[in-house]
Amino acid sequence: MKREKDFHLSEPTWCPGCGIYGIFAALKMAAVKIDLDPEEMVVVTGIGCHGRLNNHFRAYGFHALHGRTLPLASGIKLSNPRLSVLSISGDGDAYSIGVGHFVHALRKNIDITYLVVDNRIYALTQGQTSPTSPLGYVSVSAPFGTKELPLDGAKLALASGGTFIARGFSAQPKKLAALIEKGIKHKGFSFIEVLSPCVTHNKIITAQWLKEHISHLDEDHSYDPRSKKQAWEKLIKEEKIPVGLIYVDERATYGELVLPEKDQPLVGNDLGIDEQRFERVLEEFQ
C-alpha cells in the first residue's frame, strides 16, 4: 500500500494561496487511492506554473514543450500501455498553442488522463490574457479589455468525442482527487479541467469568486453524466460553472484498436526480424 509521501518529492514553491497546491494534494491522494507505483507512472507537464509539478511530484516526469504535452504523452502511452500516463497543461498550453492536439486526442480516445489547470490568464509570463479570460478582462496584454470570447474546454471536449469530461476546483482537493481517481481508472481519454485561481495576477477570478460561481453536479440528483443531452444542456446554461463529472461514455481506446498486442509494450521486443519473413516482404519488389 502506497502512502502520500511515496509521491512527495519536495515542498512546492508556488505563490502562497496558488491553486496548484490543491492540485498537487489531490494528485497524491488519487495516486494513493489507486495504489499506483511511482515507477509505473509518467507525468507530462507543459509550460506554465503547473509545469513545476514535476519538481515536487515523485514519478517519472517529463516537462515538455509549450502546448505539446498531449502528443508526447500519447507516444509514451502507445509505446508502453502498461504505464499510467498523466498529461497536465495550463489554459494557455491546452486551449491556445496546443488546442489542435486537444481536439485530436479526444477523437483518438488515447488512454491518458489530461488535467488542464485553468487560472484564466498566462501567469508565468506575468498575467496576459488567456483563451479562458472573460470578455472585457483587463490585463497587461489587453489594457482596454479582452475582445475575444472565452473558450469552454468542456463544450469543446463534448463536441470532439470526449469519453470522460469533468471539472474540478483546486480549493476542494478531496472532490478533485475523486475525479482524478475516476479519470485515471477510466479506459480512454479523461479530460479534467481544474479551476485554479492565480493569487498574484488574477484579481478577478479569485477563489472566492469561483466559490460563488460554481455549482456541484453531484448535488443535482437528476443529473446523469451518461446522458449527452443533459451534459449539453448543463454546459450551455450560463448561470453557474458546473463542477464534477460532466460526461462519461464507453468507447474503445485508440490503443485497443491499433496496437497489435493490446497490453504489450512496443518496448522490449526482440528488434531483429526473421530472415524468411523479410524475404517474403521483398517479393513485392521482384
Sites of contact with another protein (CB under 8 A): 38-40, 42, 44, 47, 54-55, 58-65, 68, 70-80, 82-83, 100-101, 103-104, 258-261, 264-269, 271-273, 275, 277-278, 281-282, 285-286
Q: Pick between residue 39 and residue 148 the one whose CB is nearest to another protein.
A: 39
Q: Which is nearer to another protein, 46 or 168 (CB)?
A: 46
CB of 68 or CB of 120, closer to another protein: 68
- 99 φ, ψ (degrees, to nearest 5): -65, -30
- Please provide residue 168's backbone torsions phi and psi, each rounded to the nearest 5 degrees: -125, 175
Of 71, 61, 15, 5, the C-alpha closest to 202 is 15
Q: Which is nearer to another protein, 107 or 147 (CB)?
A: 107
Closest to another protein by CB, 219 vs 261, is 261
- Cβ closer to another protein: 82 or 240? 82
Report d(CA 143, CA 213) in Å as an integer: 25
Closer residue to another protein, CB minimum distance, 67 or 173 = 67
The CB-of-161 to another protein minimum distance in angstroms stands at 14
Q: Given the complex with another protein, which of 63 and 155 has the nearer CB atom?
A: 63
Smallest distance, Å, CB 14 to another protein? 14
Taking the complex as a whole, how short is the minimal distance between the CB of residue 114 and another protein, in angstroms?
A: 14
3-state secondary structure the chain: CCCHHHHECCCCCCCCCCCHHHHHHHHHHHHHHHCCCHHHEEEEECCCHHHHHHHHECCEEEECCCCCHHHHHHHHHHHCCCCEEEEEEEHHHHHHHCHHHHHHHHHHCCCCEEEEEECCEECCCCCEECCCCCCCCCECCECCCCCCCCCCHHHHHHHCCCCEEEEEECCCHHHHHHHHHHHHHCCCCEEEEEECCCCCCCCCCCHHHHHHHEEEHHHCCCCCCCCHHHHHHHHHCCCCEEEEEEEECCCCCHHHHHCCCCCCCCCCCCCCCCHHHHHHHHHHHC
